[in-house]
Chain A
Amino acid sequence: METVIALAIGIVFGAGIWLVLRPRTFQVLCGLMLMSYAVNLFIFAMGRLWVDRPPLTPAGKPVDPAALADPLPQALVLTAIVIGFATTALYLVVMIGARGLTGTDHVDGREPER
């Protein structure tokens, strides 16, 4: 399971890097989103991978730490998703604004001279 997850994160992040380096703003945006998905998965995986273990302690019963997943990365990833989502939305707005004002979707705001 670890290998599959690691490969998946690596491929998504690699695709994100490639897209971020592209000259069109929409590609950059998609790249940033892919990278943030990969990072979110990565944070999640950093709490170790568990199957069938809840992150919450049952009320009234003695707590056995070995039977529970680490809840902290899950909380972190939730925060990271919210923040990443908001900033990406903002980037989208700026992108549309730039497209409208400069008339091109090139990241430099002008077409490269040929």
Chain B
Amino acid sequence: MRAFEHLLLAPILLPLLCGAALAPLTQGWHRLKFGLGYASVLGQLAAALALVRMTDGGYWQDGIGVYLAANWAAPFGIALVADRLAALMLLLTALLGLAALHFAMRRWGRIGVHFHTLFQFLLMGINGAFLTHDLFNLFVFFEVMLAASYGLVLHGYNAERLRASLQYIAVNLAASLLFLLGAAVIYAAAGTLNMADLAARIQAMPAADLGLLRIGATALALAFLIKGAMWPLCFWLPTTYAAASPPVAAMLVLMTKVGTYAILRLALLWFPSGWGYDALLWGGMATIVFGAAGMLATDSAGRMAGYGAIVSSGTLLAVIGYGQPSLVAAGLFYLVGSTLAIAAFLLLAELVDRIRTPREAVLAVTMEAWAVEDKPDEPMGQGVPAAMATLALAFGACTLVIAGLPPLSGFVAKFSLFHALLERDPVPGAAWVLMALVLVSGLVSVMALMRFGVRTFWATRAAPPALHLSEVLPVVFLLGLTAVMSVQASPILAYLGRASEGIHRPGDYVERVLRHAPVPGPAQEEAP
């Protein structure tokens, strides 16, 4: 085995070790804790970039890297698999993690005890869920991710957060039980939990035996769709997003995408013939309608971002359900752009809230309890308050991406979605409905966000809020990434096209994972 193959483990091991190292440090060491956590996220970013290069640069055959944990051959041990899609998601996780952690530097990371530890474990769970190729191991990584997120949603402990996380935890515990039920039924039907092995066995299975397996797959899909927020399984989401502290909420946006990722990966791997896709298509469209209506109905920034995430999830699920490789590529572009924008919007929401409601007073009590010294900052400018201008510009950029207006990445994403939808001749009715819904949801989000923006930035005569550079930078960073995405749209879309083609050839996975030979150990060589 070549030395670089071990890099596949880095996105899981780095946060695990870092989180474990941070756990015993008391809050008095918060600078050290932040520094270590930041270094770990930077390391994950480097590993993700390297994996993108390795999967796309021909280091691995077919762009699929297989790592056999503990050197057990594939159907028996747990295989970790990196392909272009997984590498892309790892990169997105690292970028979002970097922004959220930077945002938490000044304020949120210092309120409460184990923020940094939990944050690292959350990253570990998300990264692991992207890399693992074993169904039960996926459950374990989901639980790691969820357990960390329970702690993080509670972070900054007040009545609103407790109430929201009570419901969040109950819903997700029930979803985990569904996951277990699904995995158990699939094991009973097929006798294996390795995803590639399952794919091979499902292809070879007589039609009479498929019924039980499909029941299992449905239970599993329900568990993923609760995380991925498909209507009618998404009612937990807006409340949780609005209640969670902003850096945590930004990471929650990514967690809904983990559910979508699992659906995308497993649906294409196990049921390439198209079973169950219609449910995703129409369910996704219903989700778009629900999310758009919610955006119009709400007034708070956090809830609006939550409904925006629901619209984005719905679009993605409909795209997966439509079942066309080029459309999935465009959908992935949309996924990356919308995740970045909604995360930026959630970070921004807290800064904007400082204009709208004097929540500082509430926060101040908590800050005092944790002895965070908070000197009042100078506003960033005089005359035309630069703080207001920065916030308004960032807000405008978020609106452009979420609504899909040029010149930022949202427009490129929607344009390529439409381009792919119009490919089939004749264009099916579902494609027209989907296009109409995407357009209408864009229009609705412009209306909702503009209404919010006008009320916040024009109609108030409040003093400009105190902004800190460390809080504005992550927002600008995330929005800058969407700008880069629209400038570099062609190479990124080409990469995503290759990623989408890769996941549409499940045969390659089965071949690569099951044929991957374990490393011969020294004992075996010496044996007679």
Which residues between 155 and 182 of chain B lie within 8 Å of chain A, taking CB atoms? 157-159, 162-163, 165-167, 169-170, 173-174, 176-177, 180-181
A73 touches B166 (CB 8 A): no
Pick the residue among A39, A42, A101 that contacts B162 (CB under 8 A).
A101
* B window 105-146: CB within 8 A of A: 136, 139-140, 143, 146
Complex contacts, A25 vs chain B, CB 8 Å: 166
Contact check, A42 vs B184: say whether CB atoms are below 8 A apart. yes
Q: Does B188 make an interface contact (CB < 8 A)?
A: yes
For A2-39 the 0/1 string (1 means CB < 8 A from B) is 00000000000000000010000100100010011001
A43-B180, A87-B143, A87-B176 are known contacts. Are A28 and B158 too (CB-CB below 8 A)? no
Within 8 Å by CB of A43, from B151, B159, B166, B184, lies: B184
Verify A28–B162 contact, CB threshold 8 A.
no
Within 8 A of A (CB), among B163-216: 163, 165-167, 169-170, 173-174, 176-177, 180-181, 183-185, 187-188, 193
- Within the complex, which residue of B136, B157, B173, B176 is in contact with A76, where a contact is CB–CB below 8 Å? B136
By the criterion CB–CB under 8 Å, are B184 and A76 in contact? yes
Q: Cβ of A102 < 8 Å from any Cβ of B?
A: yes
What secondary structure prevails in chain A residues at the interface with B?
helix
Binds B, one of A51-59, A60-68, A90-98: A90-98
Contact check, A102 vs B163: say whether CB atoms are below 8 A apart: yes
B290 to chain A minimum Cβ distance, whole angstroms, is 21
Classify chain A: how many residues form its interface, as a range: 20 to 34
Asked if B415 lies at the interface with its beta carbon under 8 angstroms from chain A, I say no
Q: In the complex the two chains form, is B187's CB within 8 Å of A46's CB?
A: yes
Chain A residue nearest to B168 (CB atoms) is A94
Q: B147, B159, B180: which contacts A90 (Cβ < 8 A)?
A: B147
CA distance A39 to B185 in the complex (A): 11
- In the complex, what residues of B have CB within 8 A of residue A101's CB? 158-159, 162
B184–A90 touching, CB < 8 Å: no
Tell yes or no: B85 within 8 A of A by CB.
no
> Are the C-beta atoms of B174 and A94 separated by less than 8 Å?
no
Query: In the bound complex, what is the Cα–Cα distance between A39 and B180 (angstroms)?
Result: 7
With A46-B185, A73-B184, A88-B173 as given contacts, are A83 and B143 in contact (CB-CB < 8 Å)? yes
Question: Cβ of B80 < 8 Å from any Cβ of A?
Answer: no
Cβ contacts under 8 Å, B167 to chain A: 107
| Residue numbers in B under 8 Å from A107 (CB-CB) | 166-167, 170
Smallest Cβ-Cβ distance to A79: which chain B residue: B140
In the assembled complex, which residues on chain A have CB atoms less than 8 Å from the CB atom of B170?
A: 20, 28, 32, 91, 107
Measured CA separation A46–B193 after assembly (Å): 13
B154: interface (CB < 8 Å): yes
Smallest CB–CB gap between B281 and chain A, Å?
29
Interface bits A66-82 vs B (CB < 8 Å: 1, else 0) = 00000011001001100
- The count of residues in chain B whose C-beta lies closer than 8 Å to any C-beta of chain A is 31
Least CB separation from A108: chain B residue: B163
Chain A residues contacting B183 (CB-CB under 8 Å) are: 43, 76
Q: Shortest beta-carbon distance, A78 to chain B, in Å? A: 11
A100 to B522, CA, bound (A): 60
A46–B173 Cα gap in the complex (Å)? 21
> Complex formed: what's the CA distance from A84 to B176 in Å?
9
Cβ contacts under 8 Å, B188 to chain A? 46-47
Residues of chain B with a CB closer than 8 A to A73's CB: 184, 187
B477 to chain A, nearest CB (A): 33
Is the Cβ of B166 less than 8 Å from the Cβ of A94? yes
Say yes or no: is B150 at the interface (Cβ < 8 Å to chain A). yes
Among residues of B, the one whose C-beta sits closest to the C-beta of A75 is B136
Known: A101-B159, A101-B162, A102-B162. A90 touches B187 (CB 8 A): no
Q: How far is the CB of A77 from chain B (nearest CB, A)?
A: 9
Decide: A36 near B177, CB < 8 A? Known: A28-B170, A94-B169. yes
Evaluate contact between A98 and B184: CB separation under 8 angstroms. Answer: no
Residue of A nearest to B162 (CB): A98
- Residue of A84, A94, A101, A107 with most chain B CB atoms under a 10 A cut-off: A94
The answer to whether A32 touches B165, judged by C-beta atoms less than 8 angstroms apart, is no
Partner of A87, one of B154, B159, B169, B187: B169
> Which residues on B are within 8 Å of A, measured CB to CB?
136, 139-140, 143, 146-147, 150-151, 154, 157-159, 162-163, 165-167, 169-170, 173-174, 176-177, 180-181, 183-185, 187-188, 193
Q: What are the 3 closest A-B residue pairs judged by CB atoms, nearest first? A: A109-B163, A46-B188, A46-B184
A-to-B contact residues, CB < 8 Å: 20, 25, 28, 32, 35-36, 39, 42-43, 46-47, 72-73, 76, 79-80, 83-84, 86-88, 90-91, 94-95, 97-98, 101-102, 107-109
Given contacts A84-B173, A94-B162, 10 further A-B contacts (CB under 8 A): A28-B170, A35-B177, A47-B187, A84-B177, A87-B147, A97-B154, A101-B158, A107-B167, A107-B170, A109-B166
